[in-house]
């Protein structure tokens, strides 16, 4: 809703009152004329009484002299792009010396040509305006000077004659205490210019995306024409009216000698390029920005947030955030499609199709413009007998062809296999169905829709009238990405669409992590029980009795088979469940919970063995923090969304900047370095233990359940996670300089994703699409062992230590304190290159 703080008064003066009574406007005219008479005639006593009556309600000039208007609080990305703007009045304070002289003259010519000559009010001008309004029966002309308009912004917006009197009295005071240029400075920073924009600084950026010093003459004239009716003259919503008003302002500038006729003629030939009022919040990083907004509001209060003009420098990297959003949206759409087609949006009767097509015309500004990748509603007119194609209508004039070959994914919902391909549209659609479509691409025809693949971006369209079926997903997802070196959160997404749901699944959703929790179990065992990659764990059926709850639990592996003796390395690489449970039993349930808390888990963890395979819920945020500790080889860094907060004067209110942040001034960098030396990061896991775990997680991404990640061609480590009922799919992965967690699933535990939708095939492709883009042009360093680690060749099946001359085997990390003699005596198994791979 537009605010009218600086628009003209809205009182309407009606000449003839009903039933012989004086109208409110006419009463005001009588009272106003009396005041004017007193002022003109110098009626000292009357004027004294008026001043005495109203002076108590007039703002103090000293307060105005300390001019500190409401300013928008702005959030900035890591590269100083605006990501959010929060304000009651969207204003950017412009210093007096920075306002172009020609812009001042444009406003004077448009609003108050006698500005430099009057003393704050022009009684005869106001009276003339009032009489014209009475004659027309409505407000047709304002009579306020620029000084009065400034006064009005300080005395309030109520539409009463008493407010008008206070306004005039304050205007007189302002003229006495301030210079004309100071009054003009106040006016140009206070004036309302439409679409929530206050002051010329905000308007210049809002309409033209320019700093005030970059404005052209036509742009200045357009801004100067706005105050009487910002909505009617809006260059964005009413460009024709805005142009006519600008021409009027240019004419006034010629009359007052501010510009020449030639300059006017040149200016009227240039219609300024006007932009949509940018919604930084929704356009760049809505979930991230909303998370920061809540923090600022809680810590600094509403007044500081919406009126204080804070500058909040965040950690978000717009390039990475954009890559994350693109990857998550693509991934969620494709997972959703693998579940099948949920049916049409609605159905209309055959006789109503033509009328409904008229309604659909509203979605197209230009009847000939159908944009690639954009989605449109369409109604089915008919389907051919073979079901290979259907005629659809997108508007009253536009028809198209929906083809089954480009919509192979659209098998009936909850069909048993995502590999089934739709061949007959008659199985899912009928005449009158309203559906969602987009232009079909060549990739639609070749893409096999197998789990773990993403449809290529920007594929060439088949034609501008051939369409593929679409649907908006019910599946949700979230992503958190952190720079482990400084703890900066570089990207964060809390769901498929912020506009549909502001619920932040990265923070507010507690989900079962499945096997993504297992590294915490193994980290505890390595630390507390000296487990190493060669440690043998028996993968065999086992039953646990829970006496407290009187239940019996029999855990199973994903494929319901058993491998016998397995090394810890193979157990984690292939994500075996029973070895994880037995490891937790050996390490101690409470020890695992304690380590989970130290590593970063904040949710309540159930103290039972099912915790080993992720039965207790965690948040994506917490789990990402845990993997950040792994990437840092055991030290804990405070993850942060905000680098610095400044007040309107540049005073630093909060500083979380890292020592290596290039935005940190030299002296502050020295302070940061000293702070780091005095308060080193907390170590929560021994570096040697952490490296052993990381090396096994690296093997997961080379040989195990996340082997597809090796296509990144960077040293990556990570772990997949899938709940037994396939309600949740995770991938937690990291390089030396980037830690990223991805979760996908339905919000409600009503429909599972499907048995084939594992962490490796649902979440991992999203992680890979994002990581490829985020690391583009960079080569990540490998994970190098700390001094307490030795690398030895071992049999991956038996755990036996091999000589360098032995055939086969793998290189694995061990603590220097390991008893290698015992491992050397193990019998080497045949087929040491055999690995037990599972889709997990």
Instruction: Please give the Cα distance from 553 to 499 (Å, whole number).
Output: 43
The two tokens of residue 766 are 């999203």
* Calculated CA dihedral for residues 619, 621, 627, 631, nearest 10 degrees: 180
Q: Which of 186, 200, 99 lies closest to 147, judged by CA?
A: 186
Residue 111 a catalytic site member: yes
Calpha distance 179→185 (Å, rounded): 10
Tokens of 414: 């909850």
- Tell me which residue of 465, 428, 466 sits closest to 345, measured CA to CA: 428
- In sequence order, what are the residues at sequence separation of 6 or more whose Cβ sits closer than 8 angstroms to the Cβ of residue 294? none
Q: What are phi and psi of 645, to 5 degrees?
A: -125, 130
CB atoms within 10 A of CB 662: 8
Among candidate residues 395, 407, 515, 726, the one labeled active-site is: 515
**C-alpha span between 654 and 690 (Å, rounded):** 33
Answer yes or no: are the C-beta atoms of 103 and 224 closer than 8 Å. yes
Residue 325 region, left (φ>0) first, then alpha (ψ -120 to 50), else beta? alpha
Q: Is 56 exposed, middle or buried (0-12, 13-18, 19+ CB in 10 A)?
A: exposed
**Residue 604 annotated to the active site:** no
The number of angstroms, rounded, from the C-alpha of 563 to the middle of its chain's C-alpha atoms is 46
Q: Beta strand pairing status for 73-76 and 311-314?
A: parallel
- How far from 132 is each of 29, 108, 293, CA to CA, in Å? 12, 22, 49
Measured CA distances, 48 to 32, 45, 54, 279 (Å) = 16, 5, 10, 50
Q: Which of 85, 89, 111, 470 is catalytic?
A: 111
DSSP state of 144: -
How far apart CA 337 and CA 428 sit, in angstroms, is 14
> 82 vs 94, 317, 642, CA distance in Å?
18, 12, 14
d(CA 124, CA 303): 41
Burial of 674 (0-12, 13-18, 19+ CB in 10 A): exposed
Pairing of strands 810-815, 536-539: unpaired
Rounded CA-CA distance 32/121 in Å is 13
Cα–Cα nearest to 511, from 718, 341, 753: 753
What does DSSP assign to residue 536? E
Question: Which are the catalytic amino acids?
Answer: 111, 515
């Amino acid at each position: 809703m537009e605010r009218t703080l600086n628009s003209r008064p809205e009182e309407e003066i009606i000449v003839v009152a009903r039933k012989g009574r004086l109208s409110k406007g006419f009463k005001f005219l009588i009272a106003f004329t009396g005041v004017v008479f007193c002022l003109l005639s110098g009626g000292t006593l009357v004027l004294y009484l008026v001043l005495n009556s109203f002076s108590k309600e007039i703002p103090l000039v000293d307060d105005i002299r300390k001019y500190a208007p409401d300013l928008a609080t702005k959030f900035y990305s890591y590269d100083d792009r605006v990501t959010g703007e929060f304000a009651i009045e969207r204003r950017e304070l412009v210093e007096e010396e920075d306002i172009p002289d020609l812009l001042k003259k444009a406003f004077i010519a448009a609003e108050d040509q006698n500005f430099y000559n009057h003393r704050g009010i022009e009684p005869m001008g106001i009276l003339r305006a009032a009489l014209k309004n009475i004659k027309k029966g409505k407000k047709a002309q304002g009579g306020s000077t620029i000084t009065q308009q400034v006064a009005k912004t300080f005395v309030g917006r109520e539409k009463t004659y008493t407010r008008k009197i206070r306004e005039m009295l304050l205007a007189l005071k302002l003229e006495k205490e301030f210079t004309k240029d100071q009054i003009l400075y106040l006016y140009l920073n206070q004036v309302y210019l439409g679409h929530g924009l206050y002051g010329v600084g905000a308007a210049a950026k809002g309409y033209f995306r320019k700093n005030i010093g970059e404005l052209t003459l036509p742009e200045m004239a357009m801004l100067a024409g706005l105050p009487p009716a910002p909505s009617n003259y809006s260059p964005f919503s009413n460009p024709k009216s805005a142009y006519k008003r600008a021409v009027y302002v240019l004419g006034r500038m010629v009359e007052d000698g501010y510009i020449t006729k030639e300059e006017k003629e040149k200016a009227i030939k240039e219609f300024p390029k006007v932009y949509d009022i940018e919604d930084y919040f929704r356009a760049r990083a809505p979930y991230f920005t909303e998370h920061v907004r809540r923090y600022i509001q809680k810590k600094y209060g509403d007044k500081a947030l919406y009126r204080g003009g804070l500058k909040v420098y965040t950690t978000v990297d717009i390039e990475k955030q954009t890559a994350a959003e693109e990857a998550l949206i693509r991934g969620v759409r494709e997972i959703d499609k693998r579940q099948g087609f949920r049916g049409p949006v609605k159905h209309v009767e055959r006789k109503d199709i033509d009328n409904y097509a008229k309604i659909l015309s509203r979605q197209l500004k230009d009847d000939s413009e159908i944009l690639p990748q954009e989605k449109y509603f369409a109604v089915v007119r008919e389907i051919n007998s073979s079901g290979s194609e259907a005629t659809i209508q997108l508007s009253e004039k536009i028809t198209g062809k929906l083809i089954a070959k480009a919509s192979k994914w659209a098998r009936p919902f909850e069909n048993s296999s995502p590999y089934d391909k739709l061949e007959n549209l008659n199985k899912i659609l009928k005449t009158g169905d309203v559906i969602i479509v987009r232009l079909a691409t060549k990739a639609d025809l070749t893409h096999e829709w197998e789990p773990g693949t993403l449809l290529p971006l920007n594929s060439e369209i088949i034609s501008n009238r051939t369409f593929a079926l679409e649907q908006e997903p019910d599946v949700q997802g979230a992503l958190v990405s952190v720079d482990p070196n400084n703890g900066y959160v570089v990207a964060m997404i809390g769901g498929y669409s912020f506009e549909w749901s502001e619920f932040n699944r990265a923070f507010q959703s507690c989900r079962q992590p499945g096997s993504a929790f297992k590294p915490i179990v193994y980290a505890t065992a390595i630390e507390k029980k000296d487990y190493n990659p060669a440690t043998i764990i028996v993968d065999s059926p086992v039953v646990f009795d829970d006496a407290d709850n009187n239940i019996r639990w029999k855990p199973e592996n994903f494929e319901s088979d058993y491998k016998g003796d397995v090394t810890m390395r193979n157990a984690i690489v292939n994500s075996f469940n029973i070895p994880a449970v037995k490891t937790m039993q050996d390490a101690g349930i409470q020890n695992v919970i304690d380590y989970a808390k130290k590593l970063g888990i904040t949710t309540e963890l159930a103290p039972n063995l099912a915790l080993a395979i992720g039965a207790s819920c965690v948040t994506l945020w917490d789990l990402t923090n845990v993997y950040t500790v792994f990437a840092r080889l055991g030290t804990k860094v405070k993850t942060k969304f905000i680098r610095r907060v400044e007040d309107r004067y540049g005073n630093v209110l909060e500083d979380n900047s890292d020592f290596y942040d290039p935005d940190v001034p030299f002296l502050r960098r020295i302070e940061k370095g000293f702070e780091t030396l005095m308060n080193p990061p907390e170590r929560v896991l021994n570096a040697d233990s952490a490296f052993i775990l990381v090396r096994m997680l690296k093997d997961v991404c080379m040989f195990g359940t996340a082997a597809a990640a090796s296509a990144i061609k960077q040293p990556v480590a990570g772990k997949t996670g899938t709940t037994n009922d396939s309600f949740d799919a995770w991938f937690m992965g990291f390089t030396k300089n980037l830690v990223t967690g991805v979760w996908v699933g339905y919000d409600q535990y009503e429909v599972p994703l499907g048995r084939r939708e594992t962490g490796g095939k649902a979440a991992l492709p999203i992680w890979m699409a994002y990581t490829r883009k985020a690391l583009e042009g960079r080569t990540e360093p490998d994970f190098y062992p700390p001094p307490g680690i030795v690398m030895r060749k071992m049999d991956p099946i038996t755990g036996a230590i091999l000589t360098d001359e032995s055939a086969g085997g793998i290189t694995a990390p061990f603590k220097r304190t390991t008893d290698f003699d015992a491992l050397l005596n193990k019998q080497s198994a045949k087929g040491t290159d055999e690995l037990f791979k599972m889709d997990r």
